[in-house]
Structure 1
Amino acid sequence: MQGRQDDRLGSLIQEHLPRIVDLTARICAIPAPTFHEAERARFMAEQFRQRGLAVEVDSLDNVVARRPGEGRAPALLLAAHLDTVFPPETPISVEHGEGWLQGPGIGDNSLGLAALLTLVDLLQAAGARTPGDLLLAANVGEEGLGNLRGIRALVERYGPELGAVIAVEGHNLGRVTHIAVGSLRLRLTVTGPGGHSWGAFGQPSAIHVLASIVTELTRLPVPKEPKTTYNVGLIEGGVSVNTIAPSASAVIDLRSIDPAELARLSQSLAGIVERHRVDGVEIAEEVLGERPAGQTPVEAPLVQAAIGVLRELGLEPALDASSTDANIPIAHGIPAVCVGLTRGRGSHTLQERIEIEPIRLGLAQLVRLVQQFPVGAGPAPSPERSA
């Protein structure tokens, strides 16, 4: 019986493969920079409605389609982010070659969005039902300074009914991301009196102070296990070569898979900043984003289900840590993982490419995970857990 079901699923996926390729290309052609996802959100909402699903679009432009289940089992949320890393003026050209698609954001995350729509098609074609409701979300704000605002709102809205969350990404077929890399992103701005580099020599320079802060940060010891990192990704400031800089700023990224280590690193940076507060200099700190760290344990039913499905498909699972939409449900005690759909290269570049053939396995993975739910869930959530 299982063999016939697998053959039937394989045939359905093969039939739908050209459709998901077309959907992926159409979605990719719709610009969706972080904070500007509305047009792509409208497309997804209309596509879900065409499939007969009830759709909600919130004030952030999160799109949620509900496929009703048969009973009172907890709901499963599948989330694929709408946004891309590219600025609004980026020209978008999608190329289709022999066995591949190429374009900015084609795998991250146009394919993930197309997979949600195709999953509905596959379930409908197979006449498959689920014990609990299936929530399919196209959410905003996963990339960069979006700070996971879309999935935060979804967990706040639907948390009490969720048994698990699966974040869906186009790249990295075979991975099961069950560890959430936490991060703190902030901007330090140093201001001082400025002045002429010769005539006012001795006055504090904002650039010199900022450079000293950065130098001290890079000398901090951080553990390899649990992995903890820092990075200064952007520095701006100064007026001219012969002007004592009146202002300078740096954007800093702190990360760890362990909440305690992330807090310790943040406190160390705060101490460095305090030591550089001298007369005539002001230092302002602006938090640009915070992502919680945590993990769904390997032995959790959801993680074991994801591992088992991949092995059934002939793939060896790669358990890993990353910063994804799964961070937020994990932080709320809701079992969550992030999975990939195909192989590719060039993520976050204009030449991003995905392979078409492995998408069959990625779709089979999603269908089987949905069919196994709520076996892959943790305990039924309570309203208090999502507070």
Structure 2
Amino acid sequence: MEEILNQLPAFVEQISDIREIIISNIVLIGQIPAPTFREQRRAERLVERLADFQVDDCAVDDFGNPVGIIRGRASSKSAIFIVAHLDTFCETTSDTLYTVTDKAISGMGVSDNSAAVGVMASLPEVFRRLGMVFESDIVLVAPVHSLGPGNLKGIRQLLKTWPTPVRGAICLESVELGRLNYYSDGMIRGEISCSIASEKKMGRHHQPNAILIIHEVIHAILKLRLPQKPRTQIVIGKIAGGFNHGQEAFDASIGFEIRSDSDRMVRELYGDIKDIVNGINKSFAVDLKLSIISHLNATQLAYNHPLVKCAARILYRLGVEAVSEPSETALSIFLQKQIPAITLGLTRGNHFHQDGAMVEIEPLFKGIAQIPALVAAMDSGMCSHE
């Protein structure tokens, strides 16, 4: 491991030498819109870029996931996955324009997760410039249908059908450099919508107001008692309703998320919220509906697992402080399947999920240097309990 750590300064310098290739890939791929369930054009562009860099095998699979394979020297070795989700929160379907300066790349979706996808497309050239050849197959995949209602379906389907063993996985997120995730909370993300039936919209002296009914729901949720242990949280992150300042609202909704390191607590709280919705629905005689958008089980790689320890040592040698938090990335799907995995951040950025989203260029080279160092450690068996 010490030999790999000593190479890190050279890695950073050599990666910075192909700055233009990396930036070009981020821009060429990121400017193509990829809302969840509509990622086809971006998937095809990514496969084209991987082919340009002479990846041994690359194609879009039957589920729509773009996959590239760099063949290793030993076919008996289990594959190492490098993953960056393809879709973004942006709902636009027309091409966006990225702005590149000496210090930053700006544009919708660049910080989640277009920069990471562009970096992944550049990895064959990174490995080539560093003179790195591996025993294991290196599988580059940008799963589709990851965010929100996609519920990580792309990576779930890929791992369900993958024909050979998987040694481990590195999940890439554009930000934040220093991110080192190795566990996932249990989670249910849901929506509660209120709609006033058409026969109640007219001809009533006191019409129900959907916004006020949703307020009753929020008030009841906030009264729920949450334990300090297991660590548990309910976040109400979205609210919408009405269409005119002077008219009772006929429709309103909220989006919420239950998080806990206990799956049992997540299920219990969802049951409590379901009871709240049913009770208020009967009280006001409206159409109040509860639906699940996505869900995850709580999973964890031990903090002293060799993969986590290797990644932490790499960050330390790069002069970057490691920060660990729960992750809702493909990490959780790998861990559910007993495949060691971590999530890494690649650079620093601002204004996530907004028009002014940006990522910094200079920290990116340290962020990318983590990848060949960690892959080399995994390939040599340093990151395994075996």
Relative to the length of structure 1, the TM-score reads 0.86
Seen in structure 2, the aligned counterparts of structure 1 residues 191 and 341 have a Cα distance that, compared at 3 Å, is closer
Task: Determine the C-alpha separation between the residues in 2 that align with 1:11 and 1:209.
Answer: 59
Task: Determine the C-alpha separation between the residues in 2 that align with 1:242 and 1:109.
Answer: 40
1:303: how far off? 1.1
Seen in structure 2, the aligned counterparts of structure 1 residues 160 and 270 have a Cα distance that, compared at 3 Å, is farther
1:128: how far off? 1.9
Task: Determine the C-alpha separation between the residues in 1 that align with 2:214 and 2:70.
Answer: 53
- Is 1:148 the counterpart of 2:132? The answer is no
- Is 1:230 the counterpart of 2:235? The answer is yes
1:273: how far off? 2.6
Letter in 2 for 1:252: F
Task: Determine the C-alpha separation between the residues in 1 that align with 2:9 and 2:245.
Answer: 69
1:215-294 mapped onto 2 (5 Å cutoff): 215-225=219-229, 226-231=231-236, 233-236=238-241, 248-278=252-282, 280-281=285-286, 283-294=288-299
1:306-321 mapped onto 2 (5 Å cutoff): 306-321=311-326
SS at match of 2:90: coil
SS at match of 1:289: strand
Partner in structure 2 of residue 102 of structure 1: 106
SS at match of 2:59: strand
1:20-99 mapped onto 2 (5 Å cutoff): 20-50=22-52, 51-71=54-74, 72-89=76-93, 92-99=96-103
1:80: how far off? 0.7
Task: Determine the C-alpha separation between the residues in 2 that align with 1:139 and 1:260.
Answer: 29
Task: Determine the C-alpha separation between the residues in 2 that align with 1:364 and 1:223.
Answer: 41
Letter in 1 for 2:108: P
Task: Determine the C-alpha separation between the residues in 2 that align with 1:327 and 1:349.
Answer: 26
1:21: how far off? 1.5
SS at match of 1:81: coil
Could you tell me which runs of 5 or more consecutive residues in structure 2 were left unpaired when the two chains were aligned. Answer: none
The answer to whether the 8 Å contact 1:141/1:149 transfers is: yes
Task: Determine the C-alpha separation between the residues in 1 that align with 2:240 and 2:103.
Answer: 42
Seen in structure 2, the aligned counterparts of structure 1 residues 8 and 224 have a Cα distance that, compared at 3 Å, is same
Structural RMSD (CA): 2.9
1:343: how far off? 1.3
- Is 1:126 the counterpart of 2:130? The answer is yes
Could you tell me which runs of 5 or more consecutive residues in structure 1 were left unpaired when the two chains were aligned. Answer: 381-387
Seen in structure 2, the aligned counterparts of structure 1 residues 238 and 10 have a Cα distance that, compared at 3 Å, is closer
The answer to whether the 8 Å contact 2:184/2:297 transfers is: yes
Relative to the length of structure 2, the TM-score reads 0.87
1:234: how far off? 2.5
SS at match of 2:168: strand
Identity of aligned residues (%): 26
Seen in structure 2, the aligned counterparts of structure 1 residues 143 and 376 have a Cα distance that, compared at 3 Å, is farther
1:199: how far off? 4.6
- Is 1:342 the counterpart of 2:347? The answer is yes
Partner in structure 2 of residue 214 of structure 1: 218
